[in-house]
Amino acid sequence: MNEQEFRHALRDTMTAVPEPPPMSETPVLEASRRAQRRRKARWAGAGSAAAVAVVALAAVVLGGNSGNGAPGGGVQVGGSGTPTESAGGETKDTETSWPNGQTDRTAHSGPRFDQGEALLGEVTAVVPAGFGAPDDLVYLDPAYSGGLLRHSQAQYRDTVDGVEVWEYQGEQPVTKDGGVGRMFVEVTSPGSGITGDGCDLAPTLWGLEGTCQEKVVDGKRVGVFTATGSRRDFETWAGYRYDDGTVVFVAQALDYPGSAMPALTSAPLSTDRLAELAVDPRFPRD
Amino acid sequence: MNDREQQGFTEYFASRAGVLRGTAYLLCGDWHRAEDLVQTTFVKLYRAWHRIAAREVLDAYTRQILIRTFLDENRRGFFHREKATAEHADRTAPTGGSAEDRLMLLHALTKVPPRQRAALVLRFWADLSVDETARAMGCSAGTVKSQTSHGLENLRDLVPTANFID
């Protein structure tokens, strides 16, 4: 059975299988409203808890003679914000299905989150002279739901032989002459299943299509790719796989979708520099 | 959600629930569970409705919720605890050789691992590209290719004699 045969078979099958009556929107709307009410109640609960903690802290501070407990009180107030993560509306079952008590694939705090932030710092540090590296630009296109253009991400990928595999990303907007582009680094920890070296690295960044030129940096094989497919997330990127399986991709793009700003007229990095950065020991993460 | 948003959401449900339920049925092999999946999908969509400014990305976003809900529930073992069947309580089984093949295909599909099944359904039922499938599943395009290939291999092993082409 080839792909085309399977496609036909699925269509034939679904045509032949009798469908139940159409779904009514009423139960869905009722369930949605119930979920929203529960979510608001949780937010209110979290807010009340925070308010109580603030009042308690104020009492300690204003009391003035209980200094041994005050620092802990400050931590407690911050800690009371934690429930707002789970107040995002995910069910308790979903919360427990990710590692480290996360509510989804992304680490929003903790050591993994910190690794992502540290990686972003390294990306910013290698923006070449002559280009700006702003940290306050935001998405202006309403389709992108706001947020900073400069951001990091740490996300759980899988557990292989008992070892968690993580992906860390750092994306830095790069500006020059009123235009904005991007520099991006993605690091995948060992065990991801990415194989090969140089141009044989597979899969390459996000499975993007591109031509590859292999460069050797300090005896290490680096694949330097130029996008060719219809999906142009980046113009060029370089990839290197360490002996332990850590994979580093360094990428750049002339534009920044959602920024509502014009694109750069020239790339910030040469392909040689991309290859150098791919093997730079500042990027790998556990 | 104001009245206008509510109306837009209701209209979107009316126009897309059927298609999504078909996709969900192929994913889980059971109409009741498919309807549960669609309901969960729309409950999650409801929460985000006011934030989705670009209506042209709505279908992709909704499909992504459906797929990730399905995969998450499989991760948690939900589908393992209750055995899925290809039969709906109200349906009558088709008769004849090719109908048997079709049923065999549906049964076989439920035995393919969930991520492979999701890749097969998105690629060959929803007609998504490799990249679109990758985005919906939250994985790389290379993973989609390998999951698709392994999924087809598994199907061949499960139904080696069936002729799916009339």
Instruction: Find the CATH number of the domain harbouring B166.
Output: 1.10.10.10
Query: Are residues B33 and B15 in contact, defined by beta-carbon separation less than 8 angstroms?
Result: no
Distance from the A138 Cα atom to the nearest Cα atom in chain B, whole angstroms: 16
Please indicate, yes or no, whether residues B78 and B153 belong to a single structural domain of this protein. no
| Choice among A151-160, A177-186, B14-23 with the minimum mean pLDDT | A151-160
Q: Are residues B78 and B29 both part of a single domain? A: yes
Which tokens go with A17? Answer: 């299988």
Mean pLDDT over all residues of chain B? 78
User: Which of A1, A143, A231 is nearest residue B155 as measured by Cβ atoms?
Assistant: A1
B155 lies within 8 A of chain A by CB: yes
Q: Give percent above pLDDT 90 in chain B.
A: 22
Q: Contact A10/B43, CB-based, under 8 Å?
A: no
Please tell me if residue B88 touches chain A, with a CB cutoff of 8 Å: yes
The answer, yes or no, to whether residue A67 has pLDDT greater than 80, is: no
Residue A6, burial from CB neighbour count under 10 angstroms (0-12, 13-18, 19+): buried
Provide the residue range defining the domain that includes B81.
1-85
- Domain final residue pick, B57, B85, B113: B85
Same domain assignment for residues B63 and B26:
yes
Same domain for B103 and B76: no
Domain stops at, among B36, B67, B85? B85
Q: Are residues B108 and B72 part of one domain? A: no
Among all residues of chain B, which has the CA nearest to that of A206? B140
Return the domain boundaries, chain A. Answer: 21-89, 110-278
Whole-model pTM? 0.48
Sign of CA dihedral A12, A14, A17, A21: negative
Mean pLDDT of the region B154-164: 72
Contact B99/A16, CB-based, under 8 Å? yes
Of B92, B142, B152, the CB nearest to A6: B152
Please tell me if residue B93 touches chain A, with a CB cutoff of 8 Å: no
Cα A238 from Cα A247, distance rounded (Å): 11
> What are the pLDDT digits (tens) for A143-177?
455 678 999 988 888 777 788 889 999 999 999 99
Report residue A182: phi and psi, to 5°. -140, 145
Domain edge (last residue) among B55, B85, B115: B85
Facing B134 at nearest CB: one of A8, A16, A207: A207
Out of B88, B124, B145, the one facing A7 most closely (by C-beta) is B124
B64 in contact with chain A, both atoms CB, cutoff 8 A: no
> Do residue B116 and residue B165 come from a single domain?
yes
Of A9, A27, A36, the CB nearest to B39: A27
Residues B66 and B22 in one domain: yes
Q: Are residues B3 and B48 in the same domain?
A: yes
Q: What is the structure's pLDDT at A72?
A: 27
pLDDT for residue B77: 52
Q: Which residues of B touch A32 (CB under 8 A)?
A: 42-43, 46-47
Model confidence over B76-135: pLDDT tens digits? Answer: 554 443 333 333 333 333 333 466 777 788 888 988 888 899 999 999 999 888 888 888
A148 touches chain B (CB under 8 A): no
Alpha helices in A68-144 (DSSP H): 70-79, 83-86, 92-95, 110-125
Answer yes or no: are the C-beta atoms of A187 and A248 closer than 8 Å: yes
**Which residues of A, range 102-141, sit inside 8 Å of B by Cβ?**
105
CB contact (8 A) between residue A32 and residue B152: no
- A220: β partners: A217
ipTM of the predicted assembly exceeds 0.90: no
Taking every pair of Cα atoms in chain B, the longest distance, rounded to a whole number of angstroms, is 55
